[in-house]
Structure 1
Amino acid sequence: MLKRNLLTLAVLAGVGFLPLTHAADQPEDGMYQPAVQAEGDSSRPVVTPLVDDRWYIAPFGTYVKPGGDRHSDIDGYGAGLGIGKMINEHFNVELRGFYNSFDDQNPRPDGSKGRWDLAGGTADLQYYFFRDTFSPYAVIAAGGMNSYVNGNSGVGVIGEAGLGFTYEVNDNFLIRSDARYRYNNNLNAHLNPGTDEFHDLVVNVGFVVPLGPKPVAVAEVQPAPPPPDCSTLDSDSDGVNDCLDQCPGTISGSQVDDKGCPIRLEIKGVNFKFDSAELTQNAMSILDGVAESLINYPQKNDIEVQGHTSSEGTNKYNLRLSQRRSQSVADYLSQKGVTNKLTARGYGEDQPIADNSTEEGREKNRRVELVWSEETK
């Protein structure tokens, strides 16, 4: 019965600790601190996670609820001392010595009742679910114990398992308590008729005194990595490296000056209906993309929209046609939300960029260009 009750107690206590382990994933002021990095600084202070690995001493008092095999219904008490070491965030190891005593119901030869005197020691392994002001843990232990009762004594082995907690009052003083199931085998010493195996409940209450100062985090300032060499970067692919580029984000396809600022952009594929300034559907689609780029571009320079033709037709006619076509492009861009000041100007056939004697050359000469004003760059 006692074993079943102890198992139930251990399970319930373990379930009760589970939400605490989740709540304490980020300790506010515990022994183990996460790394900290400052934002927006050229140097980065880094705090290395602390590991409190001090030695400690742990005196304690004990309440003993003996099992039925000892034929004792009278609870007992005792005391002990532990010497241990914190290993890391989760584990402690500890050596403990103890003395327990309680009355025995079996009479002595003279008719008086005897007494159980238990003296022993264990090696403990404690697992802390988390470290904080309140720190729950599980413990297992193994060791030996000398039992004395009614004039007989015998040395046996013991094993313990249980749950407990510590409460940190300050850096060098913690309150500690745990409840343990203790198994004792007296190895055929025959101290009690019928069995050499005993099962007890042990409750320990005491305190822990860590030796020496608690480790303090020291921030190490690590210099920020050097910025990339801007002389090797050309973020907007305009042919001017980022160190010299005074107009970042240049519209793709633009001709730029030595400072990376746009000078001219030929809008390729902008066609008009035959002998007309009316934009084709494909031309409007191309101009939609140009308008979006101009709206997003930070420099709002004045822009001249230039219209050019091939040499077919008279020069006077081509001049008028190129003017109407450049005005059609300027109007369309304005309607799409471009806020730059746009000035339309037709140049007719006066500024060819290819040979007008071939169809390929004439096709290149029929073009619309955007030219940025020098004064407002």
Structure 2
Amino acid sequence: MLKQKQWVIVSLVGAGCLPLAQAADRLDDNRWYVAPFASFVNTGGDRRAADGWGGGVGVGKMIDEHFNAELRGFYQGFGGDNGPWDLAGGTADLQYYFFRDTFSPYAVVGVGGMNTCASANCGVGLIGEAGVGASYEVNDHLLIRSDVRYRYNNNLNAHVQAGTDEFHDMTVNLGVVIPFGDKPKYVAKSETRMETAPVVAAKVDCSKLDADADGVNDCLDKCPGTIKGAMVDAKGCAVRLILRGQHFEYDSAELSLNAKELLDAVARDLIAFPQKNEIEVQGHASSEGTDSYNMRLSQRRAHSVVEYLKMKGVSNKLSAKGYGETQPIADNATEAGKSENRRVELIWIEE
């Protein structure tokens, strides 16, 4: 039964290592943290021991949007035919987060050492761990974290247990993560546009002026400062903006440098000339790939744009929705048409 559980864990870890589309860009949180935890140990049959409990503490650092590095120490104990057993050791862990959000799943691998005592027999050996888990962000200074791990232990001929020096266990860990310091905050810099009125002796006819070049004269324009390239209504207010070009890494939701520069300009305009409307960010795909895959990919890409605009300080209510390949605007039979259909649109919802 334990071997079956271990194969399930190994399979999950292997699946986690497959290339996955990266989720939304997040704040660059690189704080140090401390992580106390409690453990349940499901011992392998080679120990001839009962299940047990333990605990420990880790100290780590958030490296970037995907990786944490952590040093952990632990103690675990349980009974058995040749016990009691006492395990004390530590590992150096590397955690890979598939994406960072309130709920953040991850895969973890670790290597280290452990002192094992079975009754009066003790020996130091090597351990390797692999597993999957998730964290839940309660607030900026507290996360709840849990993972399940397969552990391989080799006691290097210490003969703690007669007949074998290799052991296979499963651990389930539950604890908290307490980051040090404040979570980094990004405040978008709004640019105040200074419009210099021409000095004229005669009164200017506003019906002949269009300061933001949106096609609506300044007499009728209720939304000055329209985002460049946006479609507007009769009042000059933005209703639709199509982001064209190479905005994402191939087969991924990770924003390209070109996309971030474009979204920076969009964010500056939304902050400098705010409209209170809700904005739906729509992701669209070409016909390459299956319908279900394109739907999921377009949803992740729309979510990436929403999170990036929020990070830049946009205060509009933003929602993300993927449409996959259901709303083409060009012919998918040509490469040019497919390129047109791979797009993200911002739709202003009428109040």
With normalisation by structure 2, the TM-score equals 0.52
Alpha-carbon deviations, 1:224-281, whole Å to 9, x = none?
9xxxxxxxxxxxxxxxxxxxxxxxxxxxxxxxxxxxxxxxxxxxxxxxxxxxxxxxxx
Q: Does residue 66 of the first structure (1) align with residue 46 of the second (2)?
A: no
Q: Which moved more, 1:148-157 or 1:136-145?
A: 148-157
Structure of greater relative contact order (alpha carbons < 8 Å, 6+ residues apart): 2
Counterpart of 2:102 (choices 118, 130, 133) is 133
1:91/1:119 CA distance change after superposition, 3 Å: same
Look up the match of 2:5. Answer: 5
Look up the match of 1:25. Answer: 23
Alpha-carbon deviations, 1:131-174, whole Å to 9, x = none?
00000000000000000111111000000000000000000100
Look up the match of 1:257. Answer: none
CA–CA separation in structure 1 for the residues paired with 2:191 and 2:151: 52
Shift of 1:218: 2.2
Look up the match of 2:75. Answer: 99
Residues 80 and 97 in structure 1, CA contact (< 8 A), matched pair in contact too? yes
Q: Does residue 168 of the first structure (1) align with residue 145 of the second (2)?
A: no
CA–CA separation in structure 1 for the residues paired with 2:9 and 2:122: 31
CA–CA separation in structure 2 for the residues paired with 1:222 and 1:139: 43
CA–CA separation in structure 2 for the residues paired with 1:57 and 1:5: 29
Look up the match of 1:89. Answer: 65
With normalisation by structure 1, the TM-score equals 0.48
Structure 1 runs of 4+ off > 3 angstroms?
A: 12-18, 220-224
Alignment of 1:181-220 (within 5 A): 181-220=150-189
SS of aligned partner of 1:220: coil
Shift of 1:221: 4.7
Residues 13 and 130 in structure 2, CA contact (< 8 A), matched pair in contact too? no
Residues 14 and 163 in structure 1, CA contact (< 8 A), matched pair in contact too? no
SS of aligned partner of 2:80: strand
CA–CA separation in structure 2 for the residues paired with 1:16 and 1:182: 18
Look up the match of 1:117. Answer: 86
Shift of 1:205: 0.3
Residues 13 and 131 in structure 2, CA contact (< 8 A), matched pair in contact too? no
Residues 66 and 200 in structure 1, CA contact (< 8 A), matched pair in contact too? yes
- Aligned letter for 1:120? G
CA–CA separation in structure 2 for the residues paired with 1:104 and 1:155: 19
Look up the match of 2:287. Answer: none
Alpha-carbon deviations, 1:81-132, whole Å to 9, x = none?
00000000000000000000000212xxxxxxx3100000000000000000
Shift of 1:16: 9.3
SS of aligned partner of 2:114: strand
Identity percentage of aligned residues: 61
SS of aligned partner of 1:101: strand
- Aligned letter for 2:106? Y
Residues 17 and 136 in structure 1, CA contact (< 8 A), matched pair in contact too? no
CA–CA separation in structure 1 for the residues paired with 2:76 and 2:127: 14
RMSD: 2.4
Look up the match of 2:33. Answer: 56
Look up the match of 2:113. Answer: 144
Shift of 1:9: 3.6
Mind listing any 5+ residue stretches in structure 1 that lack a counterpart? Answer: 27-31, 34-49, 107-113, 225-377
CA–CA separation in structure 2 for the residues paired with 1:146 and 1:208: 26
CA–CA separation in structure 2 for the residues paired with 1:13 and 1:156: 24
Look up the match of 1:349. Answer: none
SS of aligned partner of 1:6: helix
CA–CA separation in structure 1 for the residues paired with 2:170 and 2:128: 12
Look up the match of 2:276. Answer: none
